[in-house]
């Protein structure tokens, strides 16, 4: 029996160490002494360690069996105390092997290569951060810097789709300094527009600008930025009533403009015949417009300029079903409309817009933006005392010393309308719909030099009286291209590519 046990111990001590390392299983108890030797003597002593373990086991077994044979065959041991000491010796050997194995494992762990650190994140900057490092950067707070080397981002004549409403150079403007100003945020840089990078984001998608002629001004800027930035691409421009589509075929992408100057349905919705003195809105109706942009992946809204009048008629009913002539003759008592303050009408319309966003937009897919008010420069006395020429003849931005007087866009900018939009944007955020406000009001305010003034195409002939006083018909509302709307699109671009 003792002979067989000794053979079993030798078999354990002679097990291959490599087999244990390959399988990753726990080695037999007697084999653990080899780990100790490896830790103490290095990898070169692996085979000797396993041989020494076998010899130690063999000697221990022989001693134990000798004592047993002595008792069986009458050989008197020194005392029972010797057997007890021998048993303690065996236990000590086992305990020593176990402790040393743990130490060896700890030594192996210390020599093992440290775990790899987690992969570094390359989080893109948020819309409020730019190239200023880890600090938050407000892209909308900064200053205008004259830069002839890097600006404009394109040439007016290079854009194949330039609108004659914004082509100031073509219509006689000789001073082109307005094209060379770039927007420099405080503490960071505004990302330079990259047409190809944007188109990769817009692949198989639809970007739609919805609003009035100022939003069309921005849309035209975006079309020129893409057309001149990637002139080799196959692009087409198609117009269908209120919808204009700029298609980039290689990317299956489109950049569209939809004419909806008051967002909700109105009697000014015709793309050409919209100059109506008696303006009426259906403040609770937006579906007629929304059906044209409900599938968009990116929506950019604006609406402000067309609300600039003391009062507005708000209609509850349909333009398609006017009251009968008899009812109209009796004082329109069946025509359900009311003349109310324009701000209140605007609040109703923006609420209707927000309700549509909440219940119809795909929150996981569609990105939503709202452009703040574009400032006008219709009163030159706001930046130059005693002046009444509006923006006519202006070739430089408003000086920093005079900006405080005209801060916020002057008399043409009513911040109560801005607060109405902000309130609805907050309400949408509480309901899980994210709309980002692009605050172009303050940054555009100094640029009295960048309007078309008299350098644009006019659809109505200029009268002799107007020619004698050019400032009387100067366009101080819209913007020359290239120019300020390119910066608006750089801000939009910064959010879309982040």
Which sequence positions are flagged as catalytic?
213, 475, 478
Q: Which residue has the tokens 């010899």?
A: 55
Residue 131, both tokens: 């190239």
Q: Are 243 and 257 in contact (CB under 8 A)?
A: yes
Q: Are 261 and 271 in contact (CB under 8 A)?
A: no
Q: What is the DSSP letter of 399?
A: P
- d(CA 382, CA 403) in angstroms, rounded, equals 9
Closest CA to 353 of 427, 275, 414, 412: 427
Task: Characterize the bridge pairing of strands 253-259 and 181-185.
Answer: unpaired
Q: Is 446 exposed, middle or buried (0-12, 13-18, 19+ CB in 10 A)?
A: buried
Q: Are 296 and 258 in contact (CB under 8 A)?
A: no
* Dihedral-angle region of residue 252 (phi above 0 means left; psi in -120 to 50 means alpha; beta otherwise): left
Give 6-32 as a DSSP string.
HHHHHHHHTS-HHHHHHH-PPPPGGGH
Q: What's the sign of the alpha-carbon dihedral 341, 346, 347, 352?
A: positive
Half-sphere exposure of 48 (CA within 13 A, CB side): 8
Closest CA to 418 of 450, 444, 440: 440
Phi, psi angle pair for 214, to nearest 5°: -70, -35
Residues 6+ apart with CB under 8 A from 476: 376, 377, 378, 390, 391, 392, 448, 451, 453
């Amino acid at each position: 029996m003792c002979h067989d046990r000794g053979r079993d111990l030798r078999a354990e001590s002679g097990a291959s160490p490599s087999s244990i390392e390959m399988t990753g299983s726990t080695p037999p108890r007697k084999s653990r002494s080899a780990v100790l030797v490896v830790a103490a003597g290095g990898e070169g002593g692996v085979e000797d360690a396993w041989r020494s373990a076998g010899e130690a086991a063999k000697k221990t077994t022989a001693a134990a069996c000798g004592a047993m044979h002595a008792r069986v065959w009458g050989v008197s041991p020194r005392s029972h105390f010797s057997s007890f000491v021998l048993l303690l010796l065996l236990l000590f050997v086992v305990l020593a092997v176990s402790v040393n194995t743990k130490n060896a494992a700890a030594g192996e762990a210390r020599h093992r290569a440290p775990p790899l650190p987690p992969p570094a994140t390359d989080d893109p900057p948020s819309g409020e951060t730019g190239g200023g490092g880890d600090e938050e950067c407000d892209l909308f707070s900064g200053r205008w810097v004259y830069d002839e080397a890097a600006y404009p981002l394109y040439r007016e004549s290079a854009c194949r789709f330039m609108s004659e409403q914004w082509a100031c150079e073509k219509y006689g403007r000789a001073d082109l300094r307005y094209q060379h100003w770039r927007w420099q945020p405080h503490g960071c840089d505004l990302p330079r527009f990259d047409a190809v990078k944007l188109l990769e984001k817009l692949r198989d998608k639809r970007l739609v600008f919805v609003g009035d002629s100022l939003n069309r001004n921005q849309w035209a800027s975006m079309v020129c930025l893409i057309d001149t930035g990637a002139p080799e691409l196959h692009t087409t421009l198609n117009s269908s009533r209120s919808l204009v589509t700029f298609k980039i075929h290689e990317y299956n992408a489109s950049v569209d403009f939809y004419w909806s100057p008051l967002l909700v349905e109105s009697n000014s919705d015709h793309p050409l015949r919209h100059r109506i003195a008696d303006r009426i809105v259906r403040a609770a109706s937006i579906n007629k417009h929304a059906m044209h942009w409900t599938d968009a992946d990116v929506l950019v809204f604006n609406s402000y300029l067309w609300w600039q009048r003391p009062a507005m008629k708000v209609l509850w009913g349909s333009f398609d079903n006017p009251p009968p002539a008899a009812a109209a003759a009796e004082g329109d008592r069946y025509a359900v409309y009311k003349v109310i303050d324009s701000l209140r009408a605007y609040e109703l319309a923006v609420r209707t817009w927000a309700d549509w966003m909440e219940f119809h937009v795909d929150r996981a897919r569609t990105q939503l933006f709202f452009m703040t008010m574009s400032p006008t420069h219709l009163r030159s006395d706001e930046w130059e005392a005693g002046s009444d020429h509006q923006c006519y003849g202006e070739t430089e931005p408003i000086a920093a010393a005079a900006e405080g007087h005209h801060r916020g866009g002057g008399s043409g900018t009513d911040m109560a309308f801005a607060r109405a939009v902000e309130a609805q944007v907050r309400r949408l955020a509480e309901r899980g719909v994210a709309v980002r406000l692009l605050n172009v009001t303050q940054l555009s305010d100094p640029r009295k030099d960048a309007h078309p003034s008299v350098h644009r195409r006019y659809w109505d002939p200029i009268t002799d009286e107007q020619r004698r006083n050019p400032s009387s018909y100067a366009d101080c509302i819209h913007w020359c291209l290239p120019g300020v709307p390119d910066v608006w699109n750089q801000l939009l671009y910064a959010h879309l590519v982040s």
